[in-house]
Structure 1
Amino acid sequence: MSDAMNVAMPAAATGWSGGRLAVVVAACLGAAACAGAPQRAAEQGADDAARAEQVDALLADYRGRVPGASVLVLRDGRPVLRRGYGMAVLEDGVAAAPRTNYRLASVSKQFTAAAVLLLAQDGALDLDDPIKRWLPSLPKACDAITIRQILSHQSGLIDYEDVMSARFDADARQMRDADVLATLEGQDRTYFAPGGGYRYSNSGYALLALTVQKASGRSFAAFLRERIFAPLDMRDTVAYERGVSQVAHRAYGYSFEDGRWRRTDQSPTSAVLGDGGIYSSIDDLAKWDAALYDGRLLSDASRRLAFAAHTPTDVAEVGYGYGWRITGETLWHSGETIGFRNVIVRWPQRRLTVAMLSNRNDPEPYRTALKIGALYLP
């Protein structure tokens, strides 16, 4: 007779009391579970090692003395892969690492949106406020534009990059958020009636940074540091201002031109903070990701707003929340600027996140991140 059959028999048939039998059964089951745990852990470790080799293969072009990448995979809040590939600084041979800080470009928008949501939680502003309540110098065409519409790219604002002055350059005089406002003051028109369509808008997020500044009485960079980065122990993440702040463990951006890698770290718009001026690492993004699962930073209501698809975009099956794109079960955002290509993809129901930051102009990493995620999905 098997053990399983013996356990299934009534206590009277064994001659044992029900209590004694329960203790013996519990002990046997506990011992079996304990004996199986190391085996399961070993199997999981072997599986993760095999997956890591597959990730290495996907990142083969980033290895060696070339502009590199840092890659993070979080499963159930634990980093199961955390690696750097290639170089953070080509000229000095500084290797990319998990603590390397890259300019996030438009991945920054989720932090700008979070700052606005924090102020809404504080009661310092309302998402339905007209943007001109905070930035009254905007022209009449902007009268009906609300903060809520800007967050989800439904404002119709003119793209500042298309109308900016030629006097801005990457070195002597970069454009800043205040310069975006000054530029838009001369554009008494919108692409469509506010709320009447979708058009991705860097202009809007620059205006949101200025709104955060007005509503909080703090600079945008200081507000991010005090209300988001410091509370989450994101020690090296910074909204970078040349001559004001520093970027620790900094990666510099590069572009492949005429058969070689050339440093292309800054553009005339690299100093605009609200739409893309934050530097961070995969180590700090792990802390950010953890905070998106609970109320330590944003309330449940604020997170629901951020992660809801408020509008379809110009890409089929992709909606836009507040600083996040929504595709099926994923929340994600990419970032592209001169010399940097980045992405973060979250599968929140499966407690899986992939972040890939790179200091090169090409290729875009979104598809690579999806391939990495597929390796770890159950």
Structure 2
Amino acid sequence: MKSKQILKSFSILFICMPLMAFAFKDQKNKKAKNNWNIITEKIDSLLKSEIGTDSPGGSVGILYKNDHTFQRAYGLSDIENQKQNTNQTQFNLASVSKHFTAYALLLLEKDGKLQLDDPIGKYLPYLPKYKDEISIRNLIQHTSGLTSTDVLQLLGNISFESTWNQEDEIKLIRSYSKLNSPPNTAFSYSNSGYSLLAEIIENVSKMHYADFMETYVFSPLSLNSSFVFHSPNQMEKLTTKAYKKVKNKFVRYNEESNYTYGASNIFTNITDMLTWGKHILANDIPYDNYLSKISNTYNTLIDGDTIKYTYGFNIKNYKGLKQVRHSGGTLGFRSQFAFYPENDLCIVILLNTESINSYKLLNRICDIILSDKIVETAAKKRKEIKVDRKLLQSYAGKFRLPNGLLLDFKCDNDTLKLQFPDDNVFNLHAESNNVFFLKAFDAQCEFKLSPNGKVEEVIWKQGGVDYPCLKAGKIEELTPEMQKEFAGNYINKELNVTYPVKIVNNKLILSPPQTLKTYLNIGEMEIKYLGEDYFSAGRLDMLKFERNENGSIKLLIIQDVGRVKNFTLTKEN
């Protein structure tokens, strides 16, 4: 009798154990669900405060640990007609489109249709001579050295709101043959490269880029609202307007007039992007280990440096988290598509306004979701020391950065000061006898003493890069006769654009094209002489004039406009 009771007790225990485990799991799931509800309430509150209800906004989607999702729309898609954004509203992904182009090329390589290390001249024989030096991989990684057509349009006075199609894009690329740098020697972001990648896809597949994307990317993955905008005939497919803010008022951009593809112009909604993100996280797309492929650096430059750009994605350490991300920006549209592969998280932001900082918003959302995972790194504390005045005086002088910018160091009593050409003056603080730092922004400088105690070189340290600055020679005063040497019309024949330099009230004035004024607020400006034929030019940074063998000015070079380096104009005779 007693043994029967024991057996009965064990039977009850074995029955109850799974029930107890199920109850514990259910309790755990409820707790996770409650935590997710709290998180999404915080995110919703953030987005409502950042976007509002009566202004342009967008859609935000989140996937977290397989079973947690967030998908909501905010603000207006059309102010004039008071139409709300919804989860079905389609937005221009802008440069987030690039990873779809890169993915298409991976599919073609997988099928043996091409190799990423093939020279692009194999498929695009009409390009200039660089075609045999640049590979498909270089285009994907932005290591081709190609300039970027968006900046070339600005420099060439081509409005972003004029009709611009793929044929115009390729014609511009072909007409401007100068590279920013030799292939695979530097990372230089280029929309031109991705426009050419679309051409390669068409050449290899014998299909229009839009048809290829629909057939092999969008349709198989059930991205049913995604399409490539490449023709004015598709205008009725657009479901939202794009806006900029001018004097606290939202102004709509003209109807879409850019029909290029490869680098931009994939339109989609938040539902499709979350579907795509879910496929990637679950590794159930027709390319094995795609998330791992986009999440790990692999390409090195000739000098051995590894770049942080993979297949349409940037890899970054964000507060101790691996962030795999790309942003997009075109007239009135902003987007973010980000993965945190070690945390099983995907965040998508699609906006129809330029007034919201999408990257800042992305990071704030991440901070809410992964608050227990992020690591805040304290800024390095620098200890300031006292340096002998005599030594400080030996550091006084003018030193020139590689781009021509002049750094003027002056000793004022017991303080070393730095003056830039724009007249801004900053105090320098010593952390050793020859190394100084700035408190106004994150930069340092190291004075190199020669055996005779003189300083002939300064190393300027900023943004993780060391820039050697050599002592500048004596700078002459710019006389009226010298001004006449530099004045004149400077022409770039490839883009058919003129940059006049005139003398106005004893000052040299540069007149850039209207596009720079319209889109970057860079208008007429005084250019200031820095010696040795260098000038500072405000937001155009540095200008360098070059002379012919007779000593006459022949060229004007705008040295760095971001995605275009050493833009050269010839002086008109």
Normalising by structure 1, what TM-score?
Answer: 0.86
2:95 aligned residue (95, 98, 106):
106
Q: 2:240 matched to which residue of 1?
A: 251
Q: 2:276 matched to which residue of 1?
A: 288
Q: Distance in 1 between matches of 2:341 and 2:111?
A: 26
Shift of 1:346: 0.9
Q: CA RMSD in A?
A: 2.7
Q: Structure 1 residues 168, 373: CA separation in 2 closer, same or farther (over 3 Å shift)?
A: closer
Q: Distance in 2 between matches of 1:256 and 1:89?
A: 14
Q: Distance in 2 between matches of 1:38 and 1:246?
A: 50
Q: Report the AA paired with residue 273 of structure 1.
A: Y
1:202 aligned residue (187, 191, 199):
191
Q: Report the AA paired with residue 268 of structure 2.
A: S
SS of residue matched to 2:328: strand
Q: Which runs of 4+ in 1 moved over 6 A?
A: none
1:217 aligned residue (206, 215, 221):
206
SS of residue matched to 2:175: coil
Q: Does 1:261 align with 2:250?
A: yes
Shift of 1:285: 0.6
Q: 1:177 matched to which residue of 2?
A: 166
Q: Distance in 1 between matches of 2:254 and 2:22?
A: 53
Shift of 1:37: 4.2
Q: Does 1:125 align with 2:114?
A: yes
Bigger helix fraction: 1
Q: 1:92 matched to which residue of 2?
A: 81
Q: Distance in 2 between matches of 1:118 and 1:247?
A: 31
Q: Does 1:75 align with 2:68?
A: no
SS of residue matched to 1:114: helix
Structure with max Cα Rg:
2
Q: How many residues align?
A: 359
- Structure with the bigger RCO (C-alpha within 8 Å, sep 6+) is 1
SS of residue matched to 1:293: helix
Q: Distance in 1 between matches of 2:185 and 2:334?
A: 31
1:361 aligned residue (354, 363, 383):
354
Q: Deviations over 1:310-354 (max 9, x none)?
A: 4589xxx98110101111322111111110111011112321111
SS of residue matched to 1:28: helix
Q: Does 1:326 align with 2:319?
A: no
1:336 aligned residue (326, 329, 334):
329
Q: Distance in 2 between matches of 1:169 and 1:375?
A: 37
Write out aligned runs for 1:265-276 (5 A).
270-276=258-264
The answer to whether the Cα contact below 8 Å between 1:142 and 1:190 also exists between their aligned partners in 2 is: no
Q: 1:150 matched to which residue of 2?
A: 139
Normalising by structure 2, what TM-score?
Answer: 0.58
Runs of 5+ consecutive residues of structure 1 not aligned to the other structure: 1-12
Q: Distance in 1 between matches of 2:289 and 2:71?
A: 31
Shift of 1:265: 5.4
The answer to whether the Cα contact below 8 Å between 1:343 and 1:365 also exists between their aligned partners in 2 is: yes
Q: 1:34 matched to which residue of 2?
A: 22
The answer to whether the Cα contact below 8 Å between 1:266 and 1:338 also exists between their aligned partners in 2 is: no
Shift of 1:136: 0.8
Shift of 1:128: 0.8
Q: Distance in 2 between matches of 1:69 and 1:302?
A: 28
Shift of 1:213: 0.8
Shift of 1:97: 1.5
Q: Structure 1 residues 148, 35: CA separation in 2 closer, same or farther (over 3 Å shift)?
A: same
The answer to whether the Cα contact below 8 Å between 1:341 and 1:357 also exists between their aligned partners in 2 is: yes
Q: Structure 1 residues 225, 265: CA separation in 2 closer, same or farther (over 3 Å shift)?
A: farther
Q: Structure 1 residues 79, 263: CA separation in 2 closer, same or farther (over 3 Å shift)?
A: farther
Q: Distance in 1 between matches of 2:307 and 2:54?
A: 36
Bigger strand fraction: 2
The answer to whether the Cα contact below 8 Å between 1:342 and 1:364 also exists between their aligned partners in 2 is: no
Q: 1:3 matched to which residue of 2?
A: none
